[in-house]
């Protein structure tokens, strides 16, 4: 596995591959890999000829009071794990190379960035859309793979690619969970044992919502009430939002008609966790 840190070197390599008709797949990450990342890499490997994984903790997507400094980092461990999955290039640009002094260009996906996490993390998605477009330009992939845990991020990147005519196939992959149901996240490492137990309430709330919908309940009010109850009865938790939204527009819906996404953001201790699930109207899923 080659490690490339210089954006110009990465782009030169990508352009050489492109000239030879080599199909490049990118998995953008912020590192500290877990099974969720590895599943994106394994899937990415099946989509093309060369798999590039970018590892960059992107400062522009963290707010001033957020966890940019503490975000878990472990380069040697990450490099070993990526090599084992068959990654061809681990692309690790530095902050100075990505945002040299005088940097001033940003991408904003206006409407999709407003609600859900966007309402609690101002500027976050502007940072995400910007860095992802930069990575696309540097790596020139034909396809890029993202996890569905960051569901709003995935929707925003799809919209950005469509709006700006970016010729990259955006591929979303299912959430990978711990055996007890907690969605895998690099931020789970922040949880102490008590909080790790409390964090399970997100998955329990998802199961409760799925159960309600499976038994024919479609009302947003009733589903969110059950979800809220699951969270509020768990110590160490504070809700940022619980939302039932249209899977494409991310606008709130009043009922599960066809399909809807349940999205949750809950702080457990000081750690902000997100999770989501697809809910399918029972009359559609059981015929
Ligand atoms: O999902 C992430 O890890 C990041 O938001 C991404 C897409 C790598 C951009 O920094």
- Full-model pTM: 0.97
What local confidence, expressed as pLDDT, does residue 9 receive? 98
Domain boundaries, the chain: 2-173, 186-277
Secondary-structure breakdown of the chain: helix, strand, coil percentages, each rounded to the nearest 5: 40, 20, 35
Which CATH code is given to the segment(s) 2-173?
3.40.50.620
Distance between CA 91 and CA 11 in Å, rounded? Answer: 11
At residue 285, the pLDDT reads 62
How far, in Å, from the CA of 29 to the mean position of ligand 1?
A: 5
Measured in Å, residue 93 CA sits from the centre of ligand 1 at 14
Distance CA 187, CA 109 (A): 25
Distance 226 CA to ligand 1 centre (A): 31
pLDDT of res. 286: 57
User: What pLDDT is attached to residue 282?
Assistant: 86
State which of 132, 139, 154 you would mutate to test the pocket of ligand 1, scoring each by most atoms of that ligand within 8 A of its C-beta: 132
- Whether 161 lines ligand 1, by a CB cut-off of 6 Å, is no
Q: Please check whether the two domains, 2-173 and 186-277, share a CATH topology.
A: no
In angstroms, the Cα distances linking 149 to 89, 93, 124, 257, 276 are 24, 24, 16, 22, 7
Closest CA to 189 of 93, 91, 268: 268
Whole-angstrom distance, CA of residue 19 vs CA of residue 10? 14
* Predicted local confidence at residue 283, as pLDDT: 78
Per DSSP bridges, beta strands 143-147 and 89-91 are: unpaired
Could you say which residues of the chain have pLDDT below 70? 284-287
| CATH number, span 186-277 | 3.30.1300.10
DSSP secondary structure string for all residues of 96-136: HHHS-TT-------TTTTTSHHHHHSTTHHHHHHHHHHHHH
User: 52: part of which helix (H) or strand (E)?
Assistant: strand 50-55
């Amino acid at each position: 596995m080659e490690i490339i840190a210089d954006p110009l070197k990465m782009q030169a390599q990508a352009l050489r591959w492109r000239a030879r008709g080599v199909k490049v797949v990118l998995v953008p990450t912020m590192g500290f890999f877990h099974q969720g990342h590895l599943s994106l890499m394994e899937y990415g490997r099946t989509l093309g000829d060369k798999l590039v994984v970018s590892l960059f903790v992107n400062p522009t997507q963290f707010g001033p009071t957020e966890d940019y400094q503490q975000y878990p980092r472990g380069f040697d461990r990450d490099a070993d794990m990526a090599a084992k999955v068959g990654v061809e290039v681990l692309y690790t640009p530095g902050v100075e190379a990505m945002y040299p002094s005088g940097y001033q260009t940003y991408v904003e996906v206006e409407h999709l960035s407003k609600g859900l996490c966007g309402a609690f993390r101002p500027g976050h998605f502007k940072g995400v859309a910007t860095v992802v477009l930069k990575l696309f330009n540097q790596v020139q992939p034909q396809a890029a793979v993202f996890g569905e845990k960051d569901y709003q991020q995935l929707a925003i990147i799809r919209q950005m690619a469509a709006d700006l005519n970016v010729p990259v196939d955006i591929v979303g992959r299912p959430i990978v969970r711990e055996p007890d149901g907690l969605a895998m996240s690099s931020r789970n490492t922040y949880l102490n044992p008590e909080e790790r137990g409390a964090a399970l309430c997100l998955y329990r709330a998802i199961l409760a919502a799925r159960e309600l919908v499976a038994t024919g309940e479609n009302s947003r009010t009733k589903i969110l009430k059950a979800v809220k109850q699951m969270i509020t009865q768990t110590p160490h938790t504070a809700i940022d939002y619980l939302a039932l939204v249209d899977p494409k527009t991310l606008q709130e819906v009043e009922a599960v008609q066809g399909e809807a996404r349940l999205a949750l953001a809950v702080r457990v201790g000081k750690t902000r966790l997100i999770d989501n699930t697809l809910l399918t109207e029972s009359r559609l899923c059981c015929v």
